Structure 1
Amino acid sequence: MASTNIESHERNRASWNHAIVAHNSHKVDQHLFFKNKGSTLFREEMDLLGNLAGLSVCHLQCNCGQDTLSLVTTLGAENPVGIDISDTAVDFATQLAKDSGIDATFIRSDIFEYFNTAEPDQFDVVFASYGALNWLSSMQKYAAGVSKILKPGGRYCLVEFHPVGYIFNPDMVHEYPYSSAGEPIHSEDGVGDYVALSSTEDREVMPNLTYAEGIKDFKNSNPSTEFCWGLADVIGSMAETGLQLSHFKEYPYSNFYKIYKCMTPEKVKEGVRWCFDGPMLPLMYSICVKKPLLA
């Protein structure tokens, strides 16, 4: 089994705890948004997940729970379980669910600690999305953990930013490897305020979710560590643990997140996606893998 860098995870925990305050400072009346059946999901993940009514659902690295609650308001999930390393995120998500009148359970845990202690064969669907995998120090251990908590016949669905998109910095200069093969990449700047950086002129975070100026010029005093995982790292690790690929797709745009300074926004029903004006690049991808039924 591949080793994990718990020290890097704890460093990221502190960095996320700081950044999340800035992120949520830009979002107005989130509890009312979800009380009115609002959703922060995009079409890509909704189509991949489908109807979740009657299924046990786990949302890994759920951040502040907005997408977790959207699994309920949009796809019919019932009391989904969200896991995140950040104390601030889980406290916020728990209160948001209560204020919104939505049943959801949130657990504060390092992802690998959760996998180690979780009961096996729990969930019909496990979900992760948008900037989740780059915080993981071992893709092999992650895939094994996903397989452990899935029921036989269950599926793992992922919508993620593409590793090709990650090789460039915001100025479109090639700075990072396609895959760092588990080697850490340290940043003294820490987790940034991508909510502010991705704001548009209409001042909406999502349709009917108002953008506020909030914290300005946020600087994170806590450094962070990320890992570059190529498609072979991700899909190969899933295959090695016995999970069976049933879906794979690439997309030439980025939902919500403005990866590069030169991108232009495009309005879609679910919000804003960002497009690159140069040659077509894959900027997101989605996969679905299934755990085989017992023989």
Structure 2
Amino acid sequence: MFKISLLGSGGTMPLPGRNLTAMLGSYNGRMILIDCGEGTQVALKSLGWGIKKIDLICLTHYHPDHIVGLPGLLSTMGNSDRKEKVTIMGPIGLKKIIKGMMVILPYLPFELELVEIKEEGMDEFKFNEYTIKAIYTDHSVPCVSYCIEIKRNKKFNKEKAEALNIPVTYWNKIQNGYEVVLNDKVITPDMVLGDNRKGLKVCYCTDTRPSNSIVNFARNSDLFICEGMYGEDTYLEKAMNNKHMLFSEAATMAKKSEAKELWLTHFSPSLNSPEEFLPRAKDIFENTHLGKELMCKDLNFKV
């Protein structure tokens, strides 16, 4: 099970009852955090999944509403007796940003590994059981969107394994893609594995104008979390000038990408009643939901 929580739904500044947008994902007890604005640590505490086991922090860009909560979070992790390395990933300029933050955080009891995302094309990383993909998007500063995938091994064919007299103790190794040698005969995974099985995919996209590259990036997502800075289509010019999106634009991308579900988030502070504009998005993409603080979803593999 891949557990997802939207920690907040706000953009620009936290408001009473509206935390800044961030996402926490958890699989097999290890967690990934995307963005860490002011107050994100409070949202994490309210959620109750813990903080100590956050292994990877992905930053979309370096505007304050996405990063200023980071020093406090790292300090809390250190005070929680975290000793394992923490990886921080982000667009170009990450090392400079973290160096500046460390002025007020001169000591941590764990190593920080910094990964800057390459500027051309899509960057891909393996991290524990996660596959992380990132692309640059169209914002006023370097900004990236992330897709987090959990891939599945091919289905193991028990009958084929038994016909080849492969001991049960080797089955797990073969399913994980390794060859084994039995009685001088090499057993390769393709000899006992079936077809590919669909994994799980979550795409997270804020602070950008819509694009075909994002549509392709989010293709067939189980969950597409996308900014809807403005609800009204009459705000198009403002969205274009500020490099943000309308509800209708996010819904259009979800439809084109054939995502299964869309969560709108990163609402403008002036958007007091986002529910008023939800019907417009749902007219385009029916399975659209408004982001709410600490909303959660459990994603499960299909049989």
Same-fold call, TM cutoff 0.5: no
Q: TM-score range by the shorter chain?
A: 0.3 to 0.5
TM-score, with length taken from structure 1: 0.38
TM-score, with length taken from structure 2: 0.37
If you compute each CA radius of gyration, which structure gives the higher value, 1 or 2?
2
